[in-house]
């Protein structure tokens, strides 16, 4: 099983995927995010985690789910300059990375690595 899963808000199994990733400590990548977030995510974004004995739980859509500390979630949008409500912005960290920026950084790192680690004659 991969260390991450990808889904969209419109996926019929969206809630099941969230529950699985929460319990197994997998990363969840949610693509196609627009200006508003699905309210199902609010307990997760607000980290409404309940500790009972040595176990951790979180309620998603009225269902109590196991919570693993390794869980991570990434929300991905194609919007060049998304505007989320102040409430949503306060619940998550927003990073803006264009594909061009990521590719340029990756290529620069690769070239630097090759030049500094190439055998000399």
**CATH code assigned at 12:** 3.40.50.300
- Give the integer Cα–Cα distance in Å for 22 and 118: 43
- Domain-located, residue 72: yes
- Domain-located, residue 37: yes
- Domain-located, residue 11: yes
Q: How many CA atoms does the CB half-sphere of 88 hold within 13 Å?
A: 15
Q: How confident is the model at residue 87 (pLDDT cuts 50, 70, 90)?
A: confident
- The SS3 of residue 57 is strand
In the chain, beta strands by DSSP E: 4-8, 27-31, 49-52, 55-60, 63-66, 72-75
- Domain-located, residue 111: no
- Domain-located, residue 103: no
- Domain-located, residue 15: yes
Give the range of the structural domain holding residue 83, as residue numbers without chain letter. Answer: 4-96
Q: What is the pLDDT of residues 33-51, one digit of tens each?
A: 888 888 888 899 899 999 9
- Domain-located, residue 63: yes
Q: How confident is the model at residue 8 (pLDDT cuts 50, 70, 90)?
A: confident
Task: Tell me which long-range contacts 5-8 makes (C-beta under 8 A, separation of at least 24).
Answer: 5/29, 6/30, 6/31, 7/31, 8/32
**pTM of the predicted model, to two decimals?**
0.70
Tally of domains in the chain: 1
Q: What is the pLDDT of residue 121?
A: 45
């Amino acid at each position: 099983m991969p260390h991450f899963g990808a889904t969209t808000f419109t996926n019929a199994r969206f809630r099941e995927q969230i529950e699985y990733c929460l319990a197994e400590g997998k990363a969840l990548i949610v693509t196609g995010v627009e200006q508003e977030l699905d309210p199902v995510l609010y307990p997760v974004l607000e980290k409404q985690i309940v500790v009972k004995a040595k176990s951790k739980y979180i309620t998603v859509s009225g269902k109590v789910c196991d919570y693993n500390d390794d869980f991570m979630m990434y929300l991905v949008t194609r919007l060049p300059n998304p505007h989320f409500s102040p409430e949503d912005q306060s619940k998550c960290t927003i990073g803006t990375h264009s594909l061009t920026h990521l590719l340029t950084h990756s290529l620069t790192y690769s070239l630097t690595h090759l030049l500094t680690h190439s055998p000399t004659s």
